[in-house]
């Protein structure tokens, strides 16, 4: 039987118009208020996690680092709600799937550390047991609308592409080490971690894997939003480091490497965003 008039196969070339599907927007709209609420609790009241959150987190620096990722995520999903081109947001959904999946695994591994009588725990569990599947499903469905690169699209230069890819790879490698072998990380980390919080912070680092998209696709459109999100997250993390500076172990080399790495990455992100913005505006 032939297709009905005006009915289009989502997998056909004519459907590859690079649009963001309504289902992806709906999922984004659901996640934004959840992420903003978690940010307010963890960044505004990091010492009150025993009363307000799914489990007690100590010291204060850890909940603020997680909160920074949440506000970066909220910014990302707000942009997904408004964005027309799938190319701008696709890489971010892959990183979010990894982040949520790792937190789901951490929840199962450290089930006894959570406050099972608190409503926040059940919201946490529901989110991280369903979000990896839902976000991945949204990505798979929306990939069918992805269009081929356009010849005139702005692309990263060789150096910028290398820096982004190396930085993303280092972030992913750090996060995975923290996930798989927390016992090797905890003794040298700049502040006190438990196996659970080590894996949580590791999941935050894995969000940086979004930048690996430049290995195959150096278009600026693919990483622009990722650079914006990274800037938001790193700025908040640096403020958190200043707020909770007494939590830092300043006698450890890794402390200064981490702080310096955050500052350098933030500066590089802002410089890249400004430079590519000027190229976009150029005639």
Instruction: Domain ranges for the chain, please list them.
Output: 16-281
For residue 235, list its beta bridge partners. Answer: none
Task: Write down the pTM of the prediction.
Answer: 0.93
Task: Please report, for residues 69, 84, 143, 205, the alpha-carbon distance to residue 209 in angstroms, rounded to integers and kept in the order given.
Answer: 13, 23, 18, 8
| Spatial separation of the C-alpha atoms in residues 179 and 177, rounded to whole Å | 5
Instruction: Provide the Cα torsion 33, 39, 44, 49; round to 10°.
Output: 110
Q: For 114-128, write each residue's pLDDT tens digit.
A: 999 999 999 999 999
Through-space distance between the first and last CA atoms of the chain, rounded to whole angstroms: 50
Instruction: Collapse the DSSP code of 66 into the 3-class scheme (helix H, G, I; strand E, B; otherwise coil) and give the result.
Output: helix
Which structure tokens are listed for 63? Answer: 């909940």
What does the pLDDT read at residue 283?
Answer: 67
| Spatial separation of the C-alpha atoms in residues 37 and 45, rounded to whole Å | 12
**CB of 71 closer than 8 Å to CB of 40:** no
Instruction: Provide the Cα torsion 60, 235, 32, 119; round to 10°.
Output: 0
What does the pLDDT read at residue 282?
Answer: 83
Q: Closest Cα partner for 256 from 247, 248, 244, 267?
A: 248
What does the pLDDT read at residue 5?
Answer: 37
Low-confidence ranges of the chain (pLDDT < 50): 1-11, 13
């Amino acid at each position: 039987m032939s297709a009905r008039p005006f009915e289009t196969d989502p997998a056909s070339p004519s459907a590859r118009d690079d649009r963001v599907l309504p289902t992806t927007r709906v999922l984004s709209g659901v996640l934004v208020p959840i992420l903003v609420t978690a940010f307010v609790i963890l960044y505004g009241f990091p010492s009150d996690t025993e009363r307000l959150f799914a489990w007690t987190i100590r010291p204060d620096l850890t909940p603020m680092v997680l909160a920074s990722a949440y506000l970066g995520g909220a910014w990302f999903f707000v942009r997904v709600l408004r964005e027309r081109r799938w190319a701008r947001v696709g890489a971010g959904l892959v990183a979010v799937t990894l982040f949520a999946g790792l937190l789901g695994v951490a929840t199962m591994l450290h089930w006894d550390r959570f406050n099972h009588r608190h409503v926040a725990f059940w919201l946490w569990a529901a989110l991280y047991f369903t979000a990896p599947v839902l976000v991945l499903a949204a990505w798979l469905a929306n990939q069918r609308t992805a269009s081929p690169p356009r010849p005139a699209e702005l692309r990263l230069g060789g150096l910028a592409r290398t820096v982004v890819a190396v930085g993303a790879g280092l972030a992913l490698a750090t996060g995975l080490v923290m996930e798989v072998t927390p016992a090797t990380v905890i003794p040298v980390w700049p502040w006190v971690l438990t196996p659970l919080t080590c894996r949580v912070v590791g999941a935050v680092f894995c969000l940086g894997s979004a930048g690996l998209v430049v290995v195959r696709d150096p278009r600026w459109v693919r990483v622009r939003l990722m650079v914006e999100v990274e800037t938001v997250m790193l700025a908040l993390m640096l403020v958190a480091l200043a707020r909770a500076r007494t939590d830092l172990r300043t006698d450890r080399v890794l402390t200064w490497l981490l702080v310096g790495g955050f500052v350098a990455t933030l500066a590089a992100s802002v410089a890249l965003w400004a430079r590519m913005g000027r190229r976009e505006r150029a005639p």
